[in-house]
Amino acid sequence: MSTSFMAQWVYTDTVKDHFMNPRNLWKEGEDFQPDGVGEVGSLACGDQMRVGIKVKDGKISDLRWLTYGCASAIASTSMMSTLAIGMSLEEAYHLTPQMIMEALGGLPEHKFHCSVLGDKALRAAIDDYLEKTGQDNPFKARVARIICECKGITDVQIEELVKSGKCLTFDQLSAETGCSTVCGKCRGEIISTLEELKHIYGKD
């Protein structure tokens, strides 16, 4: 087995620590009454996540989470929880998989999609809190939409590459970002997004 292949399976000490000692786990029987709850994923797809938050003075004062997923999903959600507590709702809403990855010291490429669920569930919990309390949600429109979940590529990233003229074809975009190189399910949406942006920025 090659060294490069083995390296893909190496987890950082931080990832191992958060997997073995997950922070803010939603323990069975715990008396935690959340102000907002978010659920994403499905057991059929392999990963499911629930995040509950408490909010005080516009900030996340406490958070609990529960996931059915792999070691990377557990570690990334644990790290997400430590980052989110104390953040304003706006800061937490804009917490990205990349920020979580960097805080963990990285994850194997094929496990990047595991870090996406945590931030999605957090956003869903904030959405739920704002809806329950009758508040407007000013954050949704300002959040980039992830198109390639396996690589965490957003519509904003694609827009910048098209706008600069760096990536004007699917092959160029795939080579630059790695999009659609894992499961390939996003290929059609990426191509349509690319064509739409090329038209908008006159790159046809």
183 is catalytic: no
**Mean pLDDT, rounded, for 100-118:** 72
The tens digit of pLDDT for each residue in 156-197 reads 788 779 878 899 999 999 999 999 998 889 999 999 988 877
Return the percentage of the chain with pLDDT > 70, whole number. 83
114 is catalytic: yes
Given a cut of 90, whether residue 3 has pLDDT beyond it is no
Q: Which among 114, 150, 167, 179 is annotated as catalytic?
A: 114
How confident is residue 46, by pLDDT bands cut at 50, 70 and 90? Answer: low
What pLDDT score was predicted for residue 140?
75
Q: Which residues of 52-74 are buried (b: 16+ CB within 10 A; e: fewer)?
A: bbbbeeebbebbbbbbebebbbb
Mean pLDDT score of the chain: 84
How confident is residue 6, by pLDDT bands cut at 50, 70 and 90? Answer: very low
Contact residues for 10 (Cβ-Cβ < 8 A; gap 6+): 108
CA distance linking residue 185 with residue 129, whole number of Å: 32
Which of 20-24, 38-42, 65-69, 117-121 comes out lowest in average pLDDT? 38-42
pLDDT greater at residue 56 or residue 193: 56
The tens digit of pLDDT for each residue in 59-106 reads 999 999 998 877 788 888 999 999 999 999 999 998 988 888 888 887
Phi, psi dihedrals of residue 185, rounded to the nearest 5° = -65, -25
pTM of the model: 0.66
CA distance linking residue 68 with residue 70, whole number of Å: 7
